[in-house]
Amino acid sequence: MAYIQLEPLNEGFLSRISDLLLCRWTCRHCCQKCYESSCCQSSEDEVEILGPFPAQTPPWLLASRSSDKDGNSVHTASEVPLTPRTNSPDRRCSSSDTSKSTYSLTRRISSLDSRRPSSPLIDIKPIEFGVLSAKKEPIQPSVLRRTYTPDDYFRKFEPRLYSLGSNSDDVDFLTDAEILSKYQLGMLHFSTQYDLLHNHLTVRVIEARDLPPPISHDGARQDMAHSNPYVKICLLPDQKNSKQTGVKRKTQKPVFEERYTFEIPFLEAQRRTLLLTVLDFDKFSRHCVIGKVAVPLCEVDLVKGGHWWKALIPSSQNEVELGELLLSLNYLPSAGRLNVDVIRAKQLLQTDVSQGSDPFVKIQLVHGLKLVKTKKTSFLRGTIDPFYNESFSFKVPQEELENASLVFTVFGHNMKSSNDFIGRIVIGQYSSGPSESNHWRRMLSAHRTAVEQWHSLRSRAECDRVSPASLEVT
């Protein structure tokens, strides 16, 4: 094969070619070589990256330099390269100039690399144009990610976000001794067991100890040295069907020894959470919540059963529930009669320490802001879950029905003094809440049909604040 010897390129043309291939920085204004700064003095924000380019000088460009070097000579970055040995004076001069130009270019590019702003490394692989075969996949640029060591990974966490501060409600990782030391609300002793034969869960409330002294929110409490504790039991999320122990007078170490059963299937019981709330009874003030214990039943062996001492934790429920009332309303347009059925009540607030309550319901008809008629049920002794099933009828013409209001007030009967207020609701024109308004609208749209609904009792102050009809009755 014959080889044709090409004429050597002159220095100026080779310098331009190397500048075109190697220069990774270009001035925006004049497109001149930025390392010479022949046109202007540009700042860092006026320089843009035109890359990607190879990080080092390609070996094929330095071939002339390496071929002319002496094999025994070694050059460093600070040394000037020696003139290579050659027999031709012209070739010696050309090679020396080319080597100096290439070395100067490499040194200037290295100095620019040290000054260029930090930017993410981009790994650019050559892209092949043409038809892709079945074994090849299109290659796309990929960002080189920094590898993190375990120390770098855990350094990102902020320990303060995972610490249990004084205001934290997360007590899942605290022992009972730590909870008792932190909140100082006392401990509760109870047991659970499921009866597979009769399909019911038995909860036994045994005793409590080290309960804190009472707290009076309104200053009406008389005895500030002793509590009158009792326990409320329910299976969350159902708080309606709850049970309640008796009140133990003037003690911080009450002994209850009371059993309660919940008719519930076994699989459903495993999905519930047993909630025991310890409250403090006060006849002349509102009842206070001392603390609570919540036990997910999926974490205990219900069939085998067991008993535990659990430390009480604070409860977010500051207001004690006053109870619920089941009512039925029916209006007869032809007769102009408004019929009211008081069916039953449950979980009423206890008003007597020894006997529970002797509750009765007072029904008052208010037309506009004028009291028209008052009726009441009989009182049932010693219960907080009374069954009444009593009916009352009020004469209300159809044209006056839209201005009528019914005020239901539950009292605890007291022979020695005035009756004890338990709770109240208002249904009609001046309803005391959305539930009461909904019951009234359903009754108006269903003439001659009785409409039943449960209502949660409210305090006197709450009803007086939202219903003018409540202010007109006693």
- pLDDT per residue over 134-160, tens digit each? 555 555 555 455 555 555 554 555 554
- DSSP 3-state assignment of 101? helix
Q: Which CATH architecture has domain 172-216+224-311?
A: Sandwich (2.60)
Distance CA 155, CA 151 (A): 6
Model confidence band, residue 238 (pLDDT cutoffs 50, 70, 90): confident
For the ranges 37-51, 340-354, 375-389, which has the lowest average pLDDT?
37-51
- pLDDT per residue over 308-352, tens digit each? 999 999 887 666 678 889 999 999 998 999 999 999 998 888 777
Who contacts 51 (Cβ-Cβ below 8 Å, separation ≥6)?
A: 24
Who contacts 74 (Cβ-Cβ below 8 Å, separation ≥6)?
A: none
For the ranges 12-26, 233-247, 254-268, 438-452, which has the lowest average pLDDT?
12-26
Give just the sign of the alpha carbon dihedral 138, 139, 143, 149: positive
Cα separations in angstroms, 266 against 197, 200, 297, 299 = 11, 8, 10, 14
The predicted pLDDT at position 18 comes to 61
The two domains 172-216+224-311 and 323-472 share their CATH topology (first three levels equal)? yes
- pLDDT per residue over 400-457, tens digit each? 998 999 999 999 887 767 788 889 999 999 999 999 999 999 999 987 889 999 999 9
Does the domain formed by 323-472 have CATH 2.60.40.150? Answer: yes
Q: What is the DSSP string of 292-324?
A: EEEEEGGGS-TTT-EEEEEE-B--S--SPP--E
| Count of helices and strands (H, E) across the chain | 10, 20
What's the token pair of residue 446?
Answer: 């269903």
CB 209 within 8 A of CB 185: no
The predicted pLDDT at position 285 comes to 59
- pLDDT per residue over 51-102, tens digit each? 444 445 556 555 555 555 554 444 444 444 444 444 544 544 555 555 555 5
The predicted pLDDT at position 80 comes to 43
Distance CA 290, CA 245 (A): 15
CB 443 within 8 A of CB 329: yes
- Asked whether the predicted pLDDT for residue 196 surpasses 80, the reply is yes
Model confidence band, residue 115 (pLDDT cutoffs 50, 70, 90): low
The predicted pLDDT at position 323 comes to 86
Q: Which helix (H) or strand (E) holds 103?
A: helix 89-115
For the ranges 39-48, 241-250, 307-316, 322-331, which has the lowest average pLDDT?
39-48
Q: Could you tell me how far CA 366 lies from the centroid of its own chain? A: 45
Domain ranges of the chain: 172-216+224-311, 323-472
Q: Choose between 398 and 281: higher pLDDT.
A: 398
Model confidence band, residue 12 (pLDDT cutoffs 50, 70, 90): low
Q: Kindly report the CA angle at 309 between 307 and 313, in degrees rounded to 5? A: 130
* 31-62: burial string, b at 16+ Cβ within 10 Å, e else: ebbbbeeeeeebeeeebeeeeeeeeebeeebb
Cα separations in angstroms, 439 against 135, 329, 392, 436, 446 = 73, 8, 17, 5, 11
Q: What is the DSSP code (8-state) at residue 73?
A: -
Q: Choose between 356 and 400: higher pLDDT.
A: 400
Single-letter amino acid, residue 349: L
- DSSP 3-state assignment of 255? strand
Report the percentage of the chain scoring pLDDT > 70. 58
Region 2-6 average pLDDT: 51
Distance CA 159, CA 291 (A): 29
- State if pTM tops 0.85: no
Region 365-387 average pLDDT: 90
Average pLDDT over all residues of the chain: 75
Single-letter amino acid, residue 285: S
Q: Choose between 50 and 424: higher pLDDT.
A: 424
Q: What is the DSSP code (8-state) at residue 344?
A: E
The predicted pLDDT at position 44 comes to 46
The predicted pLDDT at position 309 comes to 94
Long-range contacts of 195-198 (CB under 8 A, 24+ apart): 196/266, 196/303
